[in-house]
Structure 1
């Protein structure tokens, strides 16, 4: 795999900082990611930010349909030149943060989503993607190690926060492996990690209103050193929290997902 790709005019394409681009080029890492995904001939895979096609090449040749979502218009001609003649390949020039992934679905199939996600938009993009959990079989992403550590953290862990709670509400979250900076061109200043998100067929802690849940979690972690009583004082009293069997003196990082769901359900029913 070459470190530098060329567009349709033969011009090298350089990674752009404004898109948070770091192109994967290490063949060993690429092969390990492909093995972790395990593409099947019946799969419909959606790749976010294919970049120079490091993963695209192997995935496209192994699956029934491949859609890629790429924002950088300078990469579009290169991707069309490389993969455009394949009938199962479809490219969408779009911002993944605003893209309707449900529109790619054929009949009642489940999508498999993969991507080397830009570090500068990774958290809001994860929140956008989990909203499609009901039509997704699984998701495999390359992310900044720090972000993955937050996603997999449990209650009581210093990395536990809003991203942990809301991701784990919808999905089983597994760290697959870490990746060093040398696997990319240009090398980022941070370590990366592959994470697997597997949406639950049945939610372990279903909430009556996920918008209320997100509002509660956002407020609770806005100033994470405050107690739940203080963090949620604009939503409910300490006595109300205590009536739910939750210690209002705890900090938010001590509360498991089910406690946040219990608070959200209480507020939803109280204010209905």
Structure 2
């Protein structure tokens, strides 16, 4: 009997908090509803809480895990033979390669580490054309930012970029005692489905990202000051935007209009 790996000690630097509630795990897997022939990618399989029941349904699961000790832990389980393992950071994993190899949209799920959740979501949004859906356990605060509307204190750049790319639903909230170690924050299980055609339009998402980043870096300032280097008061008024509003007061549509004005008038080329 191999006694080298009896247990895994969670690494704080990787924000490792593992799901332990079996009823909750069943609820999550039921919602994901994995099907044979689908291409599924799990980010951060951890100790296999979701990996095991998903593998009982499908024949192959791609897992992305940066902690090699966890992958060694998973090797003890019979479902390991169904895994295609990538020991690397999910931020640099080649999702396009999976898409082209399997020739179908990817379904991505996981209990995301809190320290990379926002960065990873922004990374995945850029790959929305190759993704069927995403189902993630997130820090509740991040989930609230994803679905926030203008005027809400949680509304910000992440809200705008996320809602530009995806239809987002909060499925249920999860209390800390469902994890080990017990985190100091609440969690939320979220479903994200990339739009085939976004309800918003911008000529260049990078410009939209730039404007929102600039505006929310100075979210306490009115637009005339936070975005004053790009837009004059006259331009704001031409676009029916009150220059005395703050970043959190503008809709996604209005940010798209600002973005498009830059492109259509070659502002950055002058």
What TM-score do you get using the length of structure 2 for normalisation? 0.94
1:145–1:193 contact (8 Å) kept in structure 2? yes
CA shift in 2, pair 1:107/1:43, >3 Å: closer
Q: What is the match of residue 138 of structure 1?
A: 133
Which one of 88, 97, 101 corresponds to residue 94 of structure 1? Answer: 88
Write the deviation string for residues 67-119 of structure 1: whole angstroms up to 9, x where unpaired. Answer: 00000111111223323323xx2010010112221111234311010011111
> In 2, distance between residues paired with 1:177 and 1:84?
29
> In 2, distance between residues paired with 1:92 and 1:201?
28
2:201–2:256 contact (8 Å) kept in structure 1? yes
* Deviation of the 1:64 alpha carbon: 4.8
> In 2, distance between residues paired with 1:190 and 1:137?
29
Is 2:112 the partner of 1:117?
A: yes
> In 2, distance between residues paired with 1:181 and 1:197?
22
Structure 2 counterpart SS, 1:120: coil
Which one of 237, 243, 265 corresponds to residue 242 of structure 1? Answer: 237
> In 1, distance between residues paired with 2:102 and 2:121?
24
Is 2:206 the partner of 1:214?
A: no
* Deviation of the 1:226 alpha carbon: 1.1
Q: What is the match of residue 13 of structure 1?
A: 8
Structure 2 counterpart SS, 1:158: coil
1:181–1:187 contact (8 Å) kept in structure 2? yes
List alignment gaps of at least 5 residues for structure 2.
none
> In 1, distance between residues paired with 2:6 and 2:187?
29
Which one of 61, 85, 97 corresponds to residue 103 of structure 1? Answer: 97
CA shift in 2, pair 1:107/1:74, >3 Å: closer
Structure 1 stretch displaced more, 59-68 or 211-220: 59-68
Is 2:227 the partner of 1:232?
A: yes
* Deviation of the 1:207 alpha carbon: 1.1
* Deviation of the 1:65 alpha carbon: 3.2
2:7–2:73 contact (8 Å) kept in structure 1? no
Which one of 244, 249, 256 corresponds to residue 254 of structure 1? Answer: 249
1:209–1:264 contact (8 Å) kept in structure 2? yes
> In 1, distance between residues paired with 2:172 and 2:102?
33
Q: What is the match of residue 270 of structure 1?
A: 265
1:44–1:64 contact (8 Å) kept in structure 2? no
Structure 2 counterpart SS, 1:190: coil
1:8–1:77 contact (8 Å) kept in structure 2? no
Structure 1 counterpart SS, 2:76: helix
Q: What is the match of residue 4 of structure 1?
A: none
1:8–1:78 contact (8 Å) kept in structure 2? no
Write the deviation string for residues 128-147 of structure 1: whole angstroms up to 9, x where unpaired. Answer: 11111111111001011011
2:147–2:169 contact (8 Å) kept in structure 1? yes
Q: What is the match of residue 85 of structure 1?
A: 81
What TM-score do you get using the length of structure 1 for normalisation? 0.93
Q: What is the match of residue 181 of structure 1?
A: 176
Number of residues paired by the alignment? 264
CA shift in 2, pair 1:107/1:15, >3 Å: closer
